[in-house]
């Protein structure tokens, strides 16, 4: 096994068998988790995926794909490309600009509806470099500044269409996972359509960079509302309301996040560089 972070999954390494996947009940021991992580890493590195774009036209970069379930992941998982297909925002009309091209959005929606149909009670993970929350307090107070937002909120047409779909179909346990903010946090977005008494929860896990020493590149904790429910701006889907509650885990300069998920429970734990737990948050269960 090579040192560092460029392990190629050499077949000469003797790997333990993966322990049975526990969908409910007591969590596995740490040693089992470690052995399982090694095994799954080897499977991923041998799955044929790599860091090069898959073949396709330039405008359909194919940096997006669903992981093979259950061969590559325990729960339905989709990786979106929120960088290479975003449109240049040349006007103040939020309906004119999209975060992704139609083929990618169609692939995401098709995957999400299938996951909802086949695994209605299971977590459904959407991995995205850009995040949907937390959003800066200033933007929540001044929605007209949407073009200044670098994440999903900077493209209301795409973000609101997807959230409206989730609310309309009442798709449960949708979990966005991303970084970009260089801090660790969890956000709960409660989606309600007009006239509804109860809503549908969507979650965002913000997993920080392992090394983020440059203050100008990092989000500032004081720019956000924490542990206070507040409304997020809605530009186009006027029948949709979004209430957001952000929970800060850590803005430590070096940290990483672990997500432990079963059908019934999802726990996010933040650690420092010495593997010391900094914070823990249960999303559901």
pLDDT tens digits along 76-134:
999 999 999 999 999 999 999 999 999 999 999 999 999 999 999 999 999 999 999 99
pLDDT tens digits along 15-40:
445 445 444 444 455 555 566 666 65
Structural contact between residues 36 and 19, judged by C-beta atoms closer than 8 angstroms: yes
pLDDT tens digits along 114-126:
999 999 999 999 9
**Where is mean pLDDT largest: 3-17, 42-56, 100-114, 195-209?**
100-114
Three-point CA angle 248, 250, 256, nearest 5°: 120
What residues have CB less than 8 Å from 205, skipping those under 6 apart? 175, 176, 177, 178, 186, 257, 259, 268, 283
pLDDT tens digits along 142-185:
999 999 999 999 999 999 999 999 999 999 999 999 987 888 99
Percent helix / strand / coil, the chain, rounded to 5: 25, 25, 50
Instruction: Name the pLDDT band for 197 (thresholds 50, 70, 90).
Output: confident
pTM of the complete model: 0.79
pLDDT tens digits along 199-258:
999 999 998 766 667 777 778 899 999 999 999 999 999 999 999 999 999 988 778 899
């Amino acid at each position: 096994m090579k040192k560092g972070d460029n392990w190629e999954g050499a077949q000469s390494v003797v790997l333990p068998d993966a322990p049975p996947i526990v969908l409910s009940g007591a969590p596995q021991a740490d040693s089992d988790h470690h052995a399982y992580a090694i095994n799954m890493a080897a499977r991923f590195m041998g799955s044929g995926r790599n860091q090069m774009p898959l073949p396709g036209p330039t405008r359909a970069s194919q940096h997006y794909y669903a992981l093979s379930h259950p061969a590559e992941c325990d729960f339905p998982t989709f990786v979106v490309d929120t960088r290479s297909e975003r449109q240049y925002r040349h006007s103040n009309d939020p309906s004119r600009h999209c975060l992704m091209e139609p083929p990618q959005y169609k692939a995401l929606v098709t995957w999400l509806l299938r996951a909802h149909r086949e695994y209605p009670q299971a977590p459904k993970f959407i991995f995205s470099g850009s995040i949907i929350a937390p959003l800066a307090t200033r933007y929540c107070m001044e929605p007209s500044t949407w073009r200044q937002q670098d994440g999903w909120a900077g493209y209301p047409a795409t973000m609101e269409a997807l959230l409206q779909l989730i609310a309309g179909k009442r798709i449960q346990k949708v979990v966005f996972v991303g970084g970009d903010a260089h801090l660790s946090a969890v956000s709960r977005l409660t989606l309600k359509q007009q006239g509804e008494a109860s809503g549908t929860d969507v979650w965002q896990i913000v997993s920080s960079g392992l090394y983020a020493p440059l203050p100008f590149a990092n989000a500032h904790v004081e720019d956000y509302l924490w542990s206070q429910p507040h409304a997020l701006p809605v530009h186009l889907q006027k029948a949709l309301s979004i209430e957001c509650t952000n929970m800060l885990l850590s803005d430590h300069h070096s940290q990483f996040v672990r997500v432990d998920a079963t059908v019934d429970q999802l726990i996010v734990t933040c650690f420092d560089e010495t593997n010391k737990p900094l914070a823990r948050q249960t999303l559901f269960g």
